[in-house]
Amino acid sequence: MSGVARTRRARLVLVCVIVLLGGAVVLSLGVGARAIAPADVVQAFFAPDPDSADHTVVLSQRVPRTVIGLLAGAALALAGTVMQGLTRNPLADPGLFGVNAGAAVAVLAAITLAGITTPAGFVWFAFAGAAVAALVVAVIGSRGADGGNPAKLALTGAAVTAGLTAVMLMILTTNREALDVYRYWSVGGLTARGLDAVAAVAGPVAVGLVLAALCARGLDLIALGEETATGLGHNVTRTRALGILAIVLLCGGATAIAGPIVFLGLLVPHALRALAGSDYRWLLLIGAPAGAAVLLLSDVLGRVIALPGEVQAGLVVAFVGAPLLISLVLRTRQVAL
């Protein structure tokens, strides 16, 4: 396929994804245990009636979870794309850097040491825990003569994750109150958080989005091999540093407001490579709205498959992601390291 044809195809995919995202937003605002007509949703924004139960549901419940879905979905998709590019590993996802484990231990610390029992209170703890864990992996994995080697980063991430998981399980098995509070957050979802939580992490996530975009050209060159990229005059160390920082900010922010949602960072990059090619400039541009749309649609599906209750978005994404991961393991003959 020629370069012009690939660009045209990528543009078509981008348009389709944006349309899909618009539909996902509409569904997120109107669909749930209480179905709300589109006209009432529009009226809630432009002429809100404080006595209308529908308007109250839209503005106080569905708008915050829609905004959280947009921000967290976009952040996780971009983080997964950057991580797969940096490690040249198609099975890499944000959890590889210990993000979920770091956030989980920090949340448990907030519960047991600070007595915080609401998801809104976990935000900065989860963000800090995710960031510290990822930075520890990056620093340790970057030391030595082969520092920054994808295999070394993966092994370091696995080791840090294992250690933090042991700490997490020790706390959960010895503290009943921590278990009761933590088990809801750990599922991953868009409920019980408000726009104040979004405001707390919007800045770091925005910086992460910019840094991810700055990595695009470097990731295309790294895909050719680090020696080739260096031979072409590219500063691989700079791209790796920017990419790791972007992953820390994006994953930390998303995990803080939505919990440890797995597989999204793995799903989106793979789907987009099949549809739009392997140019990271397009993958990152399309990845943000695609990730947001996937998370919002998962949340909407979770609202309607178990009425009058709900299934959290994190569980829906996992149900879809698990078969995909098995498929990748069976079909991938070689993982580049």
3-state helix, strand, coil in the chain (%, to 5): 80, 0, 20
DSSP state of 90: T
What per-residue confidence (pLDDT) applies to 334?
Answer: 43
What per-residue confidence (pLDDT) applies to 335?
Answer: 43
Task: Report, as ranges of residue numbers, the positions in the chain whose pLDDT lies below 50.
Answer: 333-337
* Chain-centre distance for alpha carbon 287: 11
Alpha carbon separation from 204 to 71, 213, 262, 309 (Å, rounded)? 11, 14, 21, 33
CA distance 232 to 246: 24
What per-residue confidence (pLDDT) applies to 3?
Answer: 66
What per-residue confidence (pLDDT) applies to 198?
Answer: 86
Say if residues 67 and 195 touch (Cβ distance below 8 Å).
Answer: yes
Sign of CA dihedral 241, 132, 136, 317: negative
What per-residue confidence (pLDDT) applies to 58?
Answer: 86
CA distance 228 to 240: 15
Query: For the segment 70-95, what is each residue's pLDDT rounded down to a tens digit?
Result: 999 999 999 999 988 888 877 777 77
Torsion of CA 58, 60, 62, 68, to 10 degrees: 150
CA distance 264 to 79: 10
Q: Quote the tokens at residue 128.
A: 């800090």
What per-residue confidence (pLDDT) applies to 192?
Answer: 66
> Which residue is listed with tokens 């994808």?
150
0.95 exceeded by pTM: no
Query: For the segment 122-136, what is each residue's pLDDT rounded down to a tens digit?
Result: 778 888 888 888 888
